[in-house]
A and B are shown apart, each in its own frame.
Chain A
Amino acid sequence: MKFARVGVALAAAAIVVTACGGSGGGAGKALKIGISLPLSGSALASAGPADKGARLAIKEFTLAGYTVAPDVKDHAVNGVHDPQQGAKDMTAFAADPTVVAVVGPFNSSVAKVQIPISNEAGLLQCSPANTNPDLTKGDAGKQLRAKQPDKINYVRVATTDDIQGPAVAQYGYQTLGLKKVAIIDDTETYGKGIADAFAAEWTKLGGTVVGREGAPKGTTDYTAILTKFKDSAPEAVFYGGVTSTGGGLVRKQMPQAGLGDLVYLGGDGIQDGPGTTDGSFINIAGEAAANSFSSVAAIAEYPGKADFDKKYQAEYGEAPGAYSASGYACAQIVLKAITTAAGKGDITRESVRAAATDTATTFDTVLGPVKFDAVGDTNQKIISLYKVDLTAAGGKGDWIFDSQVNYGN
């Protein structure tokens, strides 16, 4: 049944190609780029801009003899990224022969289940935002691509938490001059990982970790943990996790526990838009969000920013989000690989994958030149740091870019 349908689709495509062959113009062989992101509920605030960025790049793209269109699949369930749904979507992409590459996912937990599927299908995947090191590096990375270990099919433009966590530690210790920190994580892949990386760097710098606690998603009461922290008099609290697993609640409960004046540090998990966005960190923490700092594993002051901002504004009538340019860059990389593949002959999943993961190629993206290493990680190791300004966004508060640090060589 399925093969029959594919056959019909191919035949139809062939007819279209023959019919329009030589006439040029828009019509041609139809290719699709899958976009796999969580795009509803509270996930939309952070992942939506990446989707818009990717679609903008695809819209601008032209290649004679081909039409390239986005195929967007939302894997948010009840407003939160859902690994199971992400796996289903990736299976659907893998089964659709017109899909030659996928942009996404957004969350490391989703990537963990998607990579084995896309690896088996030999389907190129570019994530704008995944930061967990184990997705690519070491034995953990090898396990995810067990089906075709020598064919790297997953690349990402965000740098990893083993750089992001320490970057926040360095900012807190050196720039803010803090010495004693207490740490809470949400016990998940991303949250515990970034908290561990932060703690290791903090100690290495000479700071003290005076408390370390974990509280899973669904915890509503952090008073006992905060009261315990208070006895060891920290100057800051670091939260490893995202807003929906407790990042906002912890900050909100700190004043009541008498810790309202402390600095609050976090990774990109709490950097999810202004106070006007429902369910965002600043929205939940409210007044207590003052004096909070976070990082984003993406370059904030990228070379093409002015142009990109203008284009994005014209297309969507709003300013780009933290991951808009990353989504755009991922699509650029995929599209460049398609162009390269077309130049060498046929556009197939394999030729696109090979072109994108060639370690000798430098991609000229909106984020600047990007090159991938042997496991698909970017050479652009830049972390941007943000600070909450409660007067921004019409008094509702927003994250304001503070500085960026390049950890590349």
Chain B
Amino acid sequence: MTAVPATNDAGRARSGAGLRPLLRLLVPVAIVVAAWLYMGPEQFVNAMTRGAIYALIALGYTMVYGIIELINFAHGDMFMVGSFVSLSFLTRLGFSGAITNVGLLAVVIVATFVFSMVVMGLIGVLIERFAYKPLRRAPRLAPLITAIGVSFILQNVVQLFYGPFQTNSPKIFPDTWFLQFAGARIPILSLFIICVAFGMMVALQLFIGRTRLGRSMRATAADRDAAALMGVNINRTIAITFLIGSALAGAAGVVNGLQYGVSRFDDGFQAGLKAFTAAVLGGIGNTVGAALGGFIIGFIEVAAVVAGYGRWGPAIVFGTLVIVLVFRPAGLLGQQLGERA
């Protein structure tokens, strides 16, 4: 899927008669089918839902890394702030319980997504402008430490306003809506979350692959100076990357609120760690890889519970990461946002 292996493929394809692309399609399908059979539909959906949230956060990590090679440690906290923005929005509008009117529910959910994503996108741009941009030519460690500082600031600001407690997020999506499917009970909310996440990922792929701005992003990621010489507005491109990454974190925050109904100022740490792992697992800088990594982590965690090793979930996740990095140091799908065609 990345440029480098693709060239190899092209070389081999002449002799290998297209067997590898087929295998590439078959292996993932086989894994998904095996997971479905092993876990059963309910746990499969649980894993997908969990993975979808990790994936949405991981996208922001990977995009920022791809374009300015910064591990944005504050990104997990952007997700946390996003969940507080969405819960404040809903609480301010006076919602506290489930909304059973489908039309109203749809309007409220869309409004919450738009509000949270716009607010978070703007916060992301502001943070980039004031915290990272001045350090763009500084040694790499400087923005890294700054990112950790931003992470603390975000946590403390949220703690200042909401206290150090778990805060309730209105569960506007009714708990009682579910699909009966082959004896399994699938919450509609989970299906909704999975669809939203996939929708956003596809939109992001199209944006990066098909639009002018997306091309600027790829160009900047590949070679910033060359892109600048070719007339790409670097500052604007980087700002847009932060805008989109942070908006996706905002979306993840909304989804988190709908699904779990509770947020706390330190939620971003765990989520950020998992999402960062997902990004590295998939190949940091690679958006498809980040999404894939998110789902893989979701599946590993749920499979650990199903197998009776739930306590070992985090250990298995990081063990997998180590093994993958030993054999594929660049992650499953390889690095670099920019070289993807």
Contacts and interface: CB of A to CB of B under 8 A. Distances in A.
Interface of A: 41-42, 78-80, 187, 213-216, 218-221, 223-225, 227-228, 230, 243-244, 248-249, 252-253, 255-256, 258, 260, 278-279, 283-284, 286-287
Contacts of B69: none
A256 B189 contact: yes
Interface in B240-276: 256, 259-262, 265-267, 269-271
Given A228-B305, A260-B175, A284-B262, A187 B311 contact: yes
Contacts of A223: 46, 49-50
Contacts of A243: 166
Given A218-B270, A278-B165, A256 B43 contact: no
A395 B97 CA distance: 15
Given A78-B266, A79-B165, A224-B302, A249 B260 contact: yes
Contacts of A225: 305, 310
A213 B311 contact: yes
A143 to B, nearest CB: 25
B163 A279 contact: yes
Contacts of A224: 43, 46-47, 50, 301-302, 305-306, 310
B164 A78 contact: yes
B42 interface: yes
Contacts of B269: 218
Interface of B: 42-43, 46-47, 49-50, 97, 159, 163-168, 175-176, 178, 185, 187, 189, 256, 259-262, 265-267, 269-271, 301-302, 305-306, 310-311, 314
B306 A253 contact: no
A214 B311 contact: yes
Contacts of A256: 175, 187, 189
Nearest to A76: B164
B333 to A, nearest CB: 25
B193 to A, nearest CB: 11
Given A227-B46, A228-B43, A256-B175, A249 B166 contact: yes
A278 B266 contact: no
B270 A220 contact: yes
A41 B266 contact: no
Contacts of A79: 159, 163-165
Nearest to A215: B310
> Considering the complex of A and B, which 8 residue pairs feature the smallest CB-CB distances, nearest first?
A79-B164, A279-B165, A41-B164, A224-B305, A214-B311, A224-B302, A278-B165, A218-B270
Contacts of B49: 223
Contact of A279 (B166, B261, B266, B271): B166
A401 to B, nearest CB: 25
7 contacts: A215-B310, A220-B267, A223-B49, A227-B46, A228-B306, A248-B262, A283-B168
Given A225-B310, A256-B175, A256-B187, A220 B165 contact: no
Nearest to B270: A218
Contacts of A187: 311
Contacts of B262: 220, 248-249, 252, 284
A220 B54 CA distance: 12
A225 to B, nearest CB: 6
Contacts of A255: 175-176
A22 B189 CA distance: 77
Given A78-B266, A218-B270, A227-B43, A278 B163 contact: yes
Contact of A253 (B256, B260, B267): B260
A244 to B, nearest CB: 7
B46 A42 contact: no
A403 to B, nearest CB: 30
B100 to A, nearest CB: 14
Contact of A80 (B164, B168, B306): B164
Contacts of B178: 258
